């Protein structure tokens, strides 16, 4: 309430545009510099996380965790690399019946100077701050770890031709040869790369920071704000049989939405509790390990969690989420700006995004309203995911929490293949009827994680149907393509995309903004306000739905192409070539 | 020899935190490259062209800031002493004048994820500037206390938000 009054005041004094600009700013950088403390510790700042079935090897899943935001390729003489005394971890939950992580990968790095007599990083075949890593794996929730890669090589920075290719440098045949040489296979079968890459995230940061101007109004000068910048990636390609809780291969799945093939993935960085700055210029670190950064779903700690809570959020795991943070999903701040009854008029760039206030003439998903809670106890809910007898109060926790049925499960529980979470296709106008299945990544024993159903087939990246809109594209196809006009479980292109896992190409910013605008509700038959349920001839594909689907930030692809094979990330920009 | 030293070293400013090599001093040593808030990148000292009876001293910190580096924009760090040291006498040991800056931040509205909203700024930064005339041996005199709001505006803000001039040397 206090917030609302403050905002009303803001509108009156004409200051709201500034606020809204900042909203989008916060939204857009996936997880770069997203919380006050971690912004001061770039080496441990987890910037992006991906999990997808490998397009060129569908018996595996590729996990990518990126760290160190906005690296300048020419950032010498001590170029960017992973930090020492940091535990970089990728966590996997694959079983709703076990507490906490089921598999943990932990990478730790160390550096040596091969020639301490020079100030150059690379000279005459020798490299200073040469970085190697140890990769460990735990399959008992972190109680014990087994080393699966020893002395793994991290390629040097892509400094320039004299350092990389020339005889006075490393004499390599090219930078990509260094990447290839650094790819290794763990003793347990995983393919691994740890090293620099192009920052794979893409968004028009410049426009967004200009008072929420995304897409930019009245101009076309949109560009990827992370273009030309590097990051450091840990890439692990894991056989699905290793990740699946019973070591099943994907061809053993009951169907392409088999719930036994759901994994939750999150990443973190931890540091030792104490750092001593010695008077001789050295640093000593000691004490127990403390988590300083984490990442599951992109943008959670930017767009959802307020600044006073961001450092707290980074310190937690999906298994001990702060209960108070649930409110930020049930009534998201961003939704205020997609609602004309609240503050929607203040952000011209969001004009196409409007939330259902009277879906099917009855259901109000505006902040502070009840959404579907009015149906609580109604026999119509019997046997659905919203029935207390099925999942308890997980999805309908109380009144005044309208987004507990869509944004909450998307971020915190995964979405089950249970009514009402099926496409409207075949529902005959009743969202509580059985429809066409399109997702099952339900794994409710943890909070914020990237959830992937590994049984879902891969959409070929060269398929004309491939779309960076992920699951939203699959939903649109399932609703509009007559080939899918049935209620069978069948593969629809892009069912393997965000938020069913996350592919490098997925435009998560656009997808999440559309989701906040209620597009998931529409997909299951809770249509936009301009659909009249009384008119049986009316198409649910209304102008408001089309407006939401057509919304774009204007930057929909990375500034440089991804690779078609491991490690998929584009090679890092070269220090002598990358500009500003 | 002393005369030469006198002539060329009547004003020598040096900085507490690192100083070597190429990008003047951006990311110049292994450890400080990992601590950008404390990374001293450049130092200038010149007679002011528009006021030649003064000298202007500029010390820069925090290398390679992305202008759109939000949501938590670049700023000076807390719990860091940023110091400019002046030696003006070859017969005294060590510094003769030291300027010390320390910064603190506050959240004006922790309930929002915005950096600035309705005149309230999160991570709002203020500073204390102290001066020592005895080589830092005794307590510093506080010359300029925090100036209230928006001494140094956070996003996109230049570090020269204050219009006041340093005390004359």
Residue of A nearest to B29 (CA): A78
From A303, A567, A486, select the one nearest A411 (Cα to Cα). Answer: A303
Best of A13, A70, A78, A207 to disrupt the B interface (most B CBs within 10 Å) is A78
pLDDT per position as a tens digit, A83-132: 999 999 999 999 999 999 999 999 999 999 999 999 999 999 999 999 99
Q: Rounded to whole angstroms, what are the CA distances from A530 to A288, A360, A400, B141?
A: 57, 9, 23, 68
CB contact under 8 A, B71 and A33: yes
Beta bridge partners, A296, equal none
What residues 116-135 of chain B have any CB closer than 8 A to a CB of chain A?
Answer: 116-119, 122-123
Q: Inform me whether the C-beta atom of residue B115 falls under 8 Å from chain A C-beta atoms.
A: yes
pLDDT tens string B90-103:
999 999 999 999 99
Residues of B in contact with A19 (CB under 8 A): 112, 114, 116-118
Length of chain A as a residue count: 580
Find the distance separating the first CA and the last CA of chain B, reported in whole Å.
25
Per-residue pLDDT tens digits for A411-464: 999 999 999 999 999 999 999 999 999 999 999 999 999 999 999 999 999 999
The dihedral formed by the CA atoms of B133, B134, B135 and B138, expressed in degrees to the nearest 10: -110
- Whether B157 and chain A come into contact, CB under 8 Å, resolves to no
What are A291's strand-pairing partners? Answer: A270
Cβ count within 10 A of residue A412: 23
CB A143 within 8 A of CB A135: no
Tokens of A363: 């259901």
Chain A partners of B62 at a C-beta cutoff of 8 Å? none
From B21, B34, B114, residue closest to A43, measured CB to CB:
B34
Pick from A261, A304, A259, A231: nearest CA to A75: A231
Enclosing H/E stretch for A134: strand A130-138
B80 CA to chain A: closest CA distance, Å? 12
Chain B, nearest residue to A277 by Cα? B31
What pLDDT was estimated at residue B141?
56
Work out the pLDDT band at B49, boundaries 50, 70, 90: very high
Q: Are the Cβ atoms of A333 and B112 closer than 8 angstroms?
A: yes
Query: To which residue do tokens 């249509």 refer?
Result: A527
Nearest Cα residue to A385 out of A335, A359, A419, A362: A419
C-beta separation of B82 from B102 below 8 A: yes
Percent of chain A with pLDDT over 70: 93
Q: B69 and A70: CB-CB below 8 Å?
A: yes
Chain A from 496 to 535: CB within 8 A of any B CB:
none
Sign (positive/negative) of CA torsion A431, A433, A439, A441? positive
Strand B141-144 relative to strand B124-132, pairing:
antiparallel
Residue of A nearest to B22 (CA): A77
Per-residue model confidence as pLDDT tens digits over B64-84 = 888 887 677 789 999 999 999
Alpha carbon distance A545, A476 (integer Å): 11
What is the pTM (predicted TM-score) of this model?
Answer: 0.89
Distance from the Cα of A16 to chain B's closest Cα (Å) equals 7
List, as ranges, residues 256-285 from A with C-beta within 8 Å of B: 281-283
Strands B82-87 and B55-61: unpaired
Q: A45 — contact with chain B (CB < 8 Å)?
A: no
Cβ–Cβ under 8 Å, residues A374 and A361: no
Element (H, E) at A475: helix A470-480
Which of the four pLDDT bands, split at 50, 70 and 90, describes residue A23? very low
Task: Give the pLDDT mean for A363-385.
Answer: 97
Q: Looking at A31-35, A196-200, A232-236, A543-547, which range is the least confident one?
A: A31-35
Return the half-sphere exposure (C-beta side, CA atoms, 13 A cut-off) of residue A344.
18
The reported pLDDT for the residue numbered B23 is: 56
Which residues of chain A are within 8 Å of residue B107 when distances are taken between CB atoms?
A: 307-308
Query: Which residues in chain A are contacts of B77 at CB distance < 8 A?
Result: 40
The H or E element that residue B106 is part of is strand B97-106
The verdict on a CB contact (< 8 Å) between A22 and B114 is: yes
Name the region of B94 (left: φ>0; alpha: ψ -120 to 50; beta: rest): left
Q: Is A19 on the interface with B (CB under 8 A)?
A: yes
């Amino acid at each position: 309430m206090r917030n609302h009054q403050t905002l009303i005041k803001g509108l009156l004094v004409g200051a709201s545009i500034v606020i809204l600009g900042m909203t989008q700013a916060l939204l857009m950088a996936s997880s770069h510099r997203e919380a006050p403390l971690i912004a001061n510790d770039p080496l441990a700042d987890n910037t992006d996380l991906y999990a997808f079935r490998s397009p060129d090897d569908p018996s595996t899943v590729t996990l990518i965790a990126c760290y160190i935001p906005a690296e300048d390729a020419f950032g010498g003489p001590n170029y960017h690399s992973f930090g020492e005394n940091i535990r970089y971890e990728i966590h996997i939950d694959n079983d709703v019946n076990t507490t906490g992580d089921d598999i943990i990968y932990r990478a730790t790095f160390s550096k040596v100077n091969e020639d301490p007599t020079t100030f150059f990083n690379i000279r005459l075949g020798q490299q200073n701050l040469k970085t190697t890593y140890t990769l460990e794996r735990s399959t008992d929730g972190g109680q014990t770890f087994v080393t699966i890669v020893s002395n793994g090589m991290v390629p040097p920075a892509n400094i320039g031709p004299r350092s990389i290719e020339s005889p006075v440098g490393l004499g390599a045949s090219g930078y990509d040869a260094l990447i290839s040489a650094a790819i290794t296979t763990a003793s347990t079968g995983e393919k691994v790369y740890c090293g620099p890459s192009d920052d794979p995230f893409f968004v028009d940061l410049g426009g967004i920071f200009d008072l929420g101007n995304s897409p930019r109004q009245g101009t076309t000068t949109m560009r990827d704000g992370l273009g030309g910048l590097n990051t450091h990636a840990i890439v692990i390609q894991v056989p699905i049989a290793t990740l699946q809780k019973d070591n099943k291969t994907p061809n053993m799945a009951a169907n392409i939405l088999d719930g036994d093939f759901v994994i939750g993935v999150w990443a973190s960085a931890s540091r030792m509790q104490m750092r001593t700055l010695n008077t001789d210029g050295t640093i000593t670190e000691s004490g127990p390990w403390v988590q300083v950064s984490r990442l599951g779903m992109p943008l959670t700690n930017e767009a959802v969690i307020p600044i006073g809570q961001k450092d707290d959020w980074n310190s937690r795991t999906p298994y001990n989420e702060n209960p108070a943070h649930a409110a930020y999903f049930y009534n998201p701040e961003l939704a205020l700006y997609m609602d004309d009854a609240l503050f929607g008029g203040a952000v011209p760039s969001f004009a196409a995004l409007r939330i259902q206030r009277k879906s099917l003439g009855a259901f109000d998903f505006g902040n502070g309203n009840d959404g579907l809670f009015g149906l609580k106890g109604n026999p119509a809910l019997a046997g659905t995911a919203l029935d207390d007898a099925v999942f308890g109060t997980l999805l309908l926790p109380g009144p005044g929490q309208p987004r507990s049925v869509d944004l909450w499960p998307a971020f915190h529980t995964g979405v089950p293949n249970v009514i009402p979470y099926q496409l409207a296709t075949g529902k005959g106008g009743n969202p509580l009827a059985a429809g066409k299945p399109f997702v099952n990544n339900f794994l409710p024993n943890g909070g914020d994680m990237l959830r992937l159903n590994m049984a879902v087939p891969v959409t070929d990246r060269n398929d004309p149907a491939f779309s960076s809109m992920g699951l939203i594209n699959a939903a649109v196809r399932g609703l509009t393509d007559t080939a899918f006009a049935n209620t069978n479980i069948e593969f629809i292109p892009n069912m393997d995309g965000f938020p069913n896992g996350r592919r490098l190409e997925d435009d998560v910013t656009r997808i999440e903004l559309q989701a906040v605008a209620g597009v998931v509700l529409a997909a299951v038959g809770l249509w936009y306000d301009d659909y009249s349920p009384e008119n049986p001839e009316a198409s649910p594909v209304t102008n408001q739905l089309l407006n939401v689907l057509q919304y774009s930030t204007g930057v929909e692809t990375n500034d440089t192409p991804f690779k078609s094979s491991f490690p998929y990330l584009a090679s890092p920009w070269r220090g002598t070539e990358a500009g500003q | 020899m002393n005369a030469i030293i006198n002539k060329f070293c009547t004003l020598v400013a040096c900085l507490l935190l690192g100083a070597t090599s190429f990008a003047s001093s951006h990311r110049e040593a292994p450890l400080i490259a990992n601590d950008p808030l404390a990374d001293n990148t450049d130092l200038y000292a010149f007679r002011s062209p528009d006021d030649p009876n003064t000298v202007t001293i500029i010390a820069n910190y925090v290398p390679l800031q992305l202008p759109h580096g939000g949501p938590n924009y670049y700023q000076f760090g807390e719990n860091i002493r940023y110091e400019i040291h002046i030696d003006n006498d070859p017969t005294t040991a060590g510094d003769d004048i030291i300027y010390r800056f320390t910064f603190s931040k506050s959240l004006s509205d922790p309930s929002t994820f915005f950096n600035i909203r309705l005149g309230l700024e999160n991570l709002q930064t203020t500073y204390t500037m102290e001066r020592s005339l005895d080589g830092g041996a005794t307590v510093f005199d506080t010359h300029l206390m925090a100036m209230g709001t928006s001494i140094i505006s956070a996003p996109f803000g230049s570090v020269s938000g204050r219009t006041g001039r340093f005390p004359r040397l």
